[in-house]
Amino acid sequence: MEIIDQLVSEHEALLDLAKEKKDVLIQNDMRRLSQIVKEEPVYLKRIEQLEQQRSAQMGDLTMTEWLQGHPEDVDSLRQLLQTIGQLKRLNDLNAELLEQSLHYLDWHLQLLIPEADDFTYGQSALDRTHFNRNA
């Protein structure tokens, strides 16, 4: 089925983008990350359209039922499933890398921004400081 081959192709392109995203996250290249995030919806839109076409072509048949009548599509479907599996694993890794980056940034912000008590002069500050009123 040609649509399945197109789905494989689009998923592989998205997988390549996810691999690049992983490298970009590791290198902390936020400019390229922003570009990748803008590119992803284009692939997702194409995949959604192809999936709608596939669903219309297959009707109510499940993949198993379709393969019983079209054994020539087994390899294409297997490749599609493998690509989707790789994409899922890579997306999970990228999500973890993003989470680590956010924790790292939060930690740095906590170091740079002092506690609120450091900015106030209240009774507690006076209690800790000894004043000589005769000075």
CB-facing half-sphere around the CA of 135: CA atoms within 13 A: 4
Task: Supply the pLDDT for residue 134.
Answer: 56
**88 or 119, higher pLDDT:** 88
Task: Supply the pLDDT for residue 95.
Answer: 95
Task: Supply the pLDDT for residue 64.
Answer: 83
User: Closest Cα to residue 66, out of 132, 8, 131, 1?
Assistant: 1
Position 122 pLDDT exceeds 80: no
Task: Supply the pLDDT for residue 101.
Answer: 85
The string of pLDDT tens digits covering residues 4-41 is: 999 999 999 999 999 999 999 999 898 999 999 999 99
> How far, in Å, CA of 109 to CA of 72, rounded?
57
Residue 119's pLDDT band (cuts 50, 70, 90): low
Task: Supply the pLDDT for residue 32.
Answer: 95
Average pLDDT along the chain: 86
The string of pLDDT tens digits covering residues 56-110 is: 988 888 888 888 888 898 999 999 999 999 999 999 999 999 999 888 888 888 8
